[in-house]
């Protein structure tokens, strides 16, 4: 009986690990309203369940238009409302999707700007590989029904695209933060790789993501992006729910924006963030939240400063 319970806990942990990395995978530029179809908050939850749900993301920035300490600044608040989901096709393959609605606000000392509408949708296909402990041939000779034992390791490979469903306005690219857009106006490719490992109640996961940005009809191309993340969590199992607090970090490296095949100066950069969050899973739904705070950054020549970000979501399970 004890072995059965231990195996059950291990399998449940593997399911959690198999999806925890997705909670930190970003699917587009983290400092752009046009790209907050998920931002650093990812395409899923800590629980490896099929779901349809709603998510709210808040991000704030401060942009400086000039090189002097008293140069005019603007405060930007990005609000994103998402319909998202995850559906399995087979045991190893599944698809996920996000459809965002954007409400972007920018406030200057003498005026304010606001744009809203649908953003760029994201569709991803995933392939999952589980690893098992080395098969004991001697044990197999003694027992006829020997099952493979999970090793705690798993990897997932994802490939997908971001669709140009959000509006792109050329006039907005002249601002300090050209990411103040509903959409990029281009088809962008996304490649993801993640490794997870769990032992008992603790787990760690690491993921790498590369974004290949396309060129839109205005001959404008946002810079390609490389993202990385690592997260540590602790599972607290109760009778009717499971609590999963986690802490971690993530970062992004951005290439320069191009237009007419010419690179635009001071449009590249890096950012390194700390993240903390938690999730509660029950039989019927998943509720979670995470908070991101920049630790170091150098964006758009130091003229754009990320402040803080918050994600809150409520999902309804499809396979209970």
Quick one: which of 172, 164, 170 has its CA closest to 260? 170
2-317: CATH architecture: Beta Barrel (2.40)
Strands 73-88 and 150-162 come out as unpaired
In angstroms, how far apart are the furthest CA atoms of the chain? Answer: 81
- Average the pLDDT over 163-170 and give the result: 93
User: What's residue 216's pLDDT?
Assistant: 94
The pLDDT, as a whole number, for residue 30 is: 44
d(CA 229, CA 39): 13
Question: What tokens does 52 get?
Answer: 């349809």
The whole-angstrom separation of Cα 227 and Cα 208 is: 6
pLDDT surpassing 60 at residue 3 = no
Question: What does the angle CA 41 – CA 45 – CA 49 come to, to the nearest 5 degrees?
Answer: 155
The string of pLDDT tens digits covering residues 172-213 is 888 778 788 999 899 999 999 988 888 778 888 888 989 999
Tell me the domain boundaries of the chain. 2-317
Per-residue pLDDT reduced to its tens digit, 67-123 = 666 678 899 999 999 999 988 898 889 898 999 999 999 998 888 999 999 999 999
Q: What is the pLDDT of residues 235-288, one digit of tens each?
A: 898 989 989 899 999 888 999 999 999 999 988 999 999 999 999 989 899 999
SS3 helix, strand, coil % of the chain, rounded to 5? 15, 55, 35
Instruction: Tally Cβ neighbours within 10 Å of residue 248.
Output: 22
At residue 14, the pLDDT reads 38
The better pLDDT of the pair 165, 200 is held by 165
Q: How confident is the model at residue 141 (pLDDT cuts 50, 70, 90)?
A: low
* Of the candidates 160, 130, 123, the residue with the CA atom closest to the CA atom of residue 147: 130
pTM for the whole structure: 0.82
What percentage of the chain has pLDDT greater than the value 70? 79
- Is residue 262 within 8 A of residue 219, CB to CB? The reply is no
Tokens standing for 134? 């080395």
């Amino acid at each position: 009986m004890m072995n059965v319970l231990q195996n059950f806990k291990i399998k449940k942990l593997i399911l959690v690990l198999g999806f925890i990395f997705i909670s930190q995978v970003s699917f587009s530029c983290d400092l752009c309203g046009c790209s907050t179809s998920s931002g650093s908050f990812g395409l899923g939850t800590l629980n490896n369940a099929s779901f349809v749900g709603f998510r709210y993301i808040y991000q704030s920035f401060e942009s400086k238009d000039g090189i002097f300490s008293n140069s005019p600044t603007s405060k930007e608040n990005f609000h994103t409302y998402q319909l998202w989901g995850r559906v399995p096709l087979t045991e190893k393959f599944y698809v996920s999707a996000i459809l965002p609605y954007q409400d972007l606000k920018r406030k200057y000392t003498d005026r304010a700007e606001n744009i809203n509408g649908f953003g760029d949708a994201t569709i991803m296909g995933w392939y999952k590989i589980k690893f098992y402990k080395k098969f004991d041939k001697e044990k197999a000779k003694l027992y006829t029904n020997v099952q493979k034992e999970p090793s705690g390791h798993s990897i997932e490979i994802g490939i997908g695209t971001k669709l140009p469903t959000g509006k792109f306005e050329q006039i907005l690219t002249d601002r300090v933060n050209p990411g103040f857009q509903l959409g990029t106006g281009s088809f962008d490719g996304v490649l993801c790789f993640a490794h997870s490992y769990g032992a008992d109640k603790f787990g760690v996961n690491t993921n790498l993501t590369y974004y290949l940005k396309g060129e839109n009809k205005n001959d404008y191309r946002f810079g390609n992006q490389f993202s990385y993340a690592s997260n540590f969590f602790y599972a607290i199992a109760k009778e009717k729910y499971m609590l999963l607090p986690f802490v971690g970090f993530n970062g992004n490296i951005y290439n320069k924006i191009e237009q007419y095949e010419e690179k635009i100066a001071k449009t590249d950069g890096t950012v390194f963030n700390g993240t903390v969050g938690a999730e509660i899973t029950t039989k019927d739904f998943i509720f979670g939240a995470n908070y991101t705070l920049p630790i170091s950054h150098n964006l758009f020549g130091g003229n754009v400063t990320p402040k803080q970000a918050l994600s809150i979501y409520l999902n309804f399970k499809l396979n209970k």
